[in-house]
Structure 1
Amino acid sequence: MESSYFARFKQVTPKRVSDFILEQLEEAIILKEVLPDEQLPPERELATLFKASRLAVREAIAELEQKGLIERRLGAKGGTFVLPLTANTHERTIKQIAENWNETKEMLEYRSIIEPEAARLAAARITPDHLACIRELVEKSSGEDCSRETFRSLDVRFHLEIARASGNSYIENAVRKVRTKINPGLDLMPYNRQIQLASYEMHRILLEALERRDGDRAGKTMSLHVGKTLDALSQFVE
């Protein structure tokens, strides 16, 4: 008698080389590791970096362009450039986010478990270099001239840096995965000076806990911080 477990196996889905290239470039753009208006390397160079054909690179670039993440510019200063994600939020509707809300909600719940633990570990393991980087990100996020796109970039980098400071590659990769999935939804959230300063204050308290190596406070503050994000996005979408 065959085990019923085998019925739960997932079918194999064919994956093209261009899909692997697309995933890496899209993640880098969504996580603000490649900044708006930054030029991507030429196709030939990308093909060398990925050890893939130029055709595969071209297919990935075309998909990024279709998603509104990049644009190709002609002329002497032409090339392929990253577009500001928040500048294109009008192309993504609340309905589109709502259609994938169950998956997004699961990711946010997963985040509420992973990121507080990352903060606790970071408080014990953080290096002076990590602290200096996080401190700079927090300071930059308080300015009155902090635009929506800059704010989103600083926020993502703040959370990723804490994940790195945890010294655990599995936690870091988990946080990267979560942020890649939820950022399109977060980009739709309202932004104003009040929201900016509220986020800055939470980040400042987190930084203080990390500086004091207070793991308990760091974990509790992060839990409160990501919990507010889940509540805000839930009210926005549902």
Structure 2
Amino acid sequence: MDDKGWARHIAPVRAAGAAEAIARRLSELIGARILVGGDRFPPEKTLAEMFDVAVMTIRHSMAVLREEGLIETRRGYRAGTYVVPDVLTRIRELTALHPYTLDDIEELTVWRIAVSGEASARAARRASEAGLSRLRELEAAADAAIAEAEAYRTLDAGLHLHIAELSGSRRLVEAEQGIQDELTRLLADHPGGVEARSTPGQQHRGLVSAIEGSDPAKAREQFTVHAEATADLFLPFVQ
């Protein structure tokens, strides 16, 4: 894959169950929109070094992702292994096999408030001016992409991942990646429309303003509003 800084999200894995763990990790990075359709993976040897495993382990991992239809290997010109271009369509198909329930939505919302709410509060205390500048750029880019569901999903995930990074907690960043993976799977089946993405609760201005204002309590409160507004979008579609 072309280098987009994604390798910093990789860490060595334990030998037992390593192939499955690596497959899950790469699948999560795809779901979190850190890897997107058309991105190319580095050679198997490089991936093996990143995860500190044998090349054969990486081959098993990639075979799992290939079987799920999330990646493809091309021959000839620009040969290599890539995230499939229409990966969100494939994620939608996989999600349809195990549709979300109302309990799933409620549990995900509680998880988001606990993890992302804390990340937002810590970001309000710790964000540098450079970090805030990047946050404003991501907010503006998401607003500009509101008419395009796939682009908006990528930018929305990127904004929340950036907030987690501003928290200064590696564990919160990893947890946020899992959350964004789940949201992508949920939104792939129920992407909503421009009107849904335009509601005040779905917009990020209140949250970003609280972080800019170094107000942890307000940041946590604004994130709760945001998470609950997202949950409300799905209620008509689940049982």
TM score, norm. by length of structure 2: 0.81
**Partner Cα separation in structure 2 for residue 171 and residue 143 of structure 1:** 27
Q: CA RMSD in A?
A: 2.6
- The match for 2:70 is 69
Specify the structure having the higher radius of gyration (Cα).
1
Question: Which of 87, 102, 109 is equivalent to 1:85?
Answer: 87
TM score, norm. by length of structure 1: 0.81
**Partner Cα separation in structure 2 for residue 145 and residue 190 of structure 1:** 12
After TM superposition, the structure 1 stretch with the greater mean CA deviation from structure 2, 140-149 or 22-31, is: 140-149
Q: Which amino acid aligns with 1:159?
A: H
Q: 1:190-214 deviations in whole A, cap 9, x for unaligned? A: 3322233337962122212222223
Q: Match of 2:73, SS?
A: strand
**Partner Cα separation in structure 2 for residue 199 and residue 159 of structure 1:** 17
- CA separation of 1:72 and 1:164: change in aligned 2, threshold 3 A: same
Q: Conserved in 1, the CA contact under 8 Å of 2:142 and 2:152?
A: yes
**Partner Cα separation in structure 2 for residue 144 and residue 120 of structure 1:** 26
Aligned length: 224
1:223 counterpart = 2:224: yes
1:21 counterpart = 2:22: yes
**Partner Cα separation in structure 1 for residue 24 and residue 96 of structure 2:** 23
CA-CA distance at 1:143 after TM superposition: 2.1
**Partner Cα separation in structure 2 for residue 181 and residue 191 of structure 1:** 16
Percent identity at matched positions? Answer: 27
Task: Please show how residues 122-133 of structure 1 align to structure 2 within 5 Å.
Answer: 122-133=123-134
**Partner Cα separation in structure 2 for residue 147 and residue 70 of structure 1:** 23
Q: Match of 1:80, SS?
A: strand
Stretches of structure 1 lacking an aligned partner (at least 5 in a row): 1-13
Task: Please show how residues 201-216 of structure 1 align to structure 2 within 5 Å.
Answer: 202-216=203-217
Stretches of structure 2 lacking an aligned partner (at least 5 in a row): 1-14
1:233 counterpart = 2:234: yes
- The match for 2:152 is 151
- The match for 2:167 is 166
Q: Conserved in 2, the CA contact under 8 Å of 1:86 and 1:188?
A: no
